[in-house]
């Protein structure tokens, strides 16, 4: 399984864009990049996923580099409710998710 590397913590000012990086240099050609977040004491929440192309939904944008070795999750206008641990996951062909340590994002008023 491809391993992911994320910074352990980040801060972001409320209203600004939060850019969360993830390295996955050993990703295989058919593996997807997924992002989840976990707000304290809740189950993880799906955010977005992608293979090669950039993706956008109502929650966030996902930018994947051309060589697919890294990606960035962008929360365009961070709010206090976006304070959470964000997990970048590479999904293997067996459908299992293997969570790394994630990035603890704190949105500051």
Binding site for another protein (CB under 8 A): 34, 41-46, 49, 87, 95-102
Nearest approach, Cβ of residue 95 and another protein (Å):
6
Residue number with CB closer to another protein (72 or 99): 99
Quote the DSSP letter at residue 42.
S
CB 74 within 8 A of CB 67: no
Residue number with CB closer to another protein (78 or 102): 102
Nearest approach, Cβ of residue 35 and another protein (Å):
10
Residue number with CB closer to another protein (51 or 63): 51
DSSP state string for 49-96:
EESSS-EE-SS-EEEE-TTSSEEEEEESS--GGG-EEEEEEEE-TTS-
**Planar angle of CA 23, 24, 29, nearest 5 degrees:** 145
Nearest approach, Cβ of residue 80 and another protein (Å):
21
């Amino acid at each position: 399984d491809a391993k992911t590397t994320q910074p352990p913590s980040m801060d972001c000012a409320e209203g600004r864009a939060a850019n969360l990086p993830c390295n996955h240099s050993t990703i295989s050609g058919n593996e997807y990049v997924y992002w989840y977040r976990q707000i304290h004491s809740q189950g993880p929440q799906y955010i977005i996923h992608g293979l090669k192309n950039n993706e956008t939904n109502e929650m966030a944008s996902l930018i994947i580099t051309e060589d697919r070795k890294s990606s960035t999750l962008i929360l365009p206008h961070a709010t206090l409710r976006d304070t959470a641990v964000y997990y970048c996951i590479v999904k293997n062909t067996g459908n299992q998710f293997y969570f790394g340590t994630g990035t603890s994002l704190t949105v500051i008023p």
